[in-house]
Amino acid sequence: MGMNKKTHERINQIVSTILLSIGMLVVLTPLGWMMVSALKPRDAVNTYPPQWIPTDQVHVTIDGQEYFLYDIPVNGEMRQLALLDKQGGTGTFVNPDNPSESYELTVASGTRVTQVKLHWENFVSAVTKVPFGHYLLNTMIVVVFGTIGTVASCTLVAYGFARFRSKAMPILFLLLLSTIMLPPQVTLIPTFIVFQKIGWYDTLLPLIVPAFFANAWDVFLLRQFFMTLPTELDDAARIDGCGPFGILWHIIIPQSYPVLATVTIFTVLYAWNDFYAPLIYLQSQEHWTLALGLQSFNAVYTNQGNLLMAASTLMVIPPILMFFFAQRLFIQGVVISGIKG
């Protein structure tokens, strides 16, 4: 007898849940490894096999010298002894409480004693090794002003394409969309020369000012959403005396929070993680953003993986928090479900 419809749907739900859980683990594994490694001591980051729990090797002090403590069998009994000396595969182990009690044992038969310890000081060390506070300030300036410029300019342009009518509008919109097919590397040299000639090289202005001139991606997203809003609301606003900007401010924007939130989130994440533009236009360390600062940190402290992971974790946390807090608006903006009546 075949399965009924409800049983078949239940099996599909279970299979889908399992597959999604596996995919989630695959995606989150690098992030989890980075955060765990940020809490490890320096010598535990590159150990093999990898350690998922931050642990420290236990040391004991004998006659002013530190030695590793081992769990090692002695006469069929597991003891904790300190490795005093090692020659080949054999070591001299002593009782830390009674150093005169010593044993000649095979080192391979024992394991080092470890204890779980979270090294929160790695985060303090990471942000004090280089001026991350100054990098953060530069990044926040670029993010805040760049986001304001992008949202404001793209909203105005999208409103014009969505509500104004002209024979030239389709052609202008087609020209705008055609810029998407133009790689930024093509315009890099002339743009760089222009910014250099007007004295903007090695300042934050090339990272901020272009945001106030809109971009095709966000204009297209906003225009498509604005076109789903009924024009009858615009007509009613005109009867009440609203002009074009009044309609935009009082009618369009209040109904467009989801898509505006989506544009804001995308812009913030792009500006926060942007490495390409700061690398081209910024030279002085005092103007570096977090992306450039993290790259230089990686070059200088490449042998201190725990500090590198700590710095990377600090840079990743703000976008993650932003996504979780704005998740509802973000999903609504991506779906763009239209008018709810």
Count CB neighbours of 267 within 10 A.
21
CATH number of the domain encompassing residue 192? 1.10.3720.10
The HSE-up count of residue 70 (CA atoms within 13 Å, CB side) is: 23
Co-location of 128 and 111 in the same domain: no
Co-location of 73 and 210 in the same domain: no
The HSE-up count of residue 13 (CA atoms within 13 Å, CB side) is: 6
The CA distances from residue 33 to 40, 109, 304, in Å, are 11, 30, 15
Quick check: is 178 in a domain? yes
Quick check: is 49 in a domain? no
Tell me what pLDDT residue 338 has: 43
Prediction pTM value = 0.79
Co-location of 144 and 77 in the same domain: no
Co-location of 107 and 193 in the same domain: no
Domain final position from 116, 133, 154: 116
Helix axes 216-226, 169-178, angle to 10 degrees: 140
- Largest Cα span, the chain: 100
Quick check: is 42 in a domain? no
Quick check: is 223 in a domain? yes
Residues with Cβ within 8 Å of residue 95, at least 6 apart in sequence: 79, 81, 82, 101, 102
Residues with Cβ within 8 Å of residue 244, at least 6 apart in sequence: 163
Rounded to a whole number of angstroms, the CA Rg of the chain reads 30
Co-location of 92 and 220 in the same domain: no
CA–CA gap between residue 281 and residue 192 (Å, rounded) = 8
Quick check: is 259 in a domain? yes
Co-location of 254 and 296 in the same domain: yes
CA–CA gap between residue 9 and residue 2 (Å, rounded) = 13
Low-confidence ranges of the chain (pLDDT < 50): 1, 337-341
The residue with tokens 């995308």 is: 266
Domain final position from 72, 93, 116: 116
Instruction: Name the residue range of residue 167's domain.
Output: 123-335
Calculated CA dihedral for residues 78, 80, 85, 90, nearest 10 degrees = 10
Co-location of 83 and 159 in the same domain: no
Domain count, the chain: 2
Co-location of 193 and 96 in the same domain: no
Co-location of 292 and 156 in the same domain: yes
Q: Is the CB of residue 336 less than 8 Å from the CB of residue 259? A: yes
Count CB neighbours of 284 within 10 A.
8
Tell me what pLDDT residue 69 has: 85
CA–CA gap between residue 297 and residue 178 (Å, rounded) = 39
Co-location of 142 and 176 in the same domain: yes
- With b for 16 or more beta-carbon neighbours within 10 A and e for fewer, the 5-23 pattern comes to eeeeeeeeeeeeeeeeeee
Co-location of 70 and 179 in the same domain: no
- Across the chain, mean pLDDT equals 85
Locate 321 and state its tokens: 């928090």
Co-location of 104 and 200 in the same domain: no
**What is the per-residue pLDDT across 46-65, written as a single tens digit (0 to 9) for each?**
777 777 888 877 878 887 77
Tell me what pLDDT residue 329 has: 67
Domain final position from 96, 116, 136: 116
| Residue 114 φ/ψ, nearest 5 degrees | -125, 160
Quick check: is 274 in a domain? yes
DSSP assignments along 55-87, one per residue: EEE-EEEETTEEEEEEEEEETTEEEEEEEEEEE
Quick check: is 302 in a domain? yes
Name the amino acid, one letter, at 132: F
CATH number of the domain encompassing residue 90? 2.30.30
The CA distances from residue 28 to 23, 31, 34, 35, in Å, are 9, 5, 10, 11
CA–CA gap between residue 336 and residue 334 (Å, rounded) = 6
Quick check: is 150 in a domain? yes
Calculated CA dihedral for residues 29, 31, 34, 38, nearest 10 degrees = -120
The DSSP code for 4 is: P
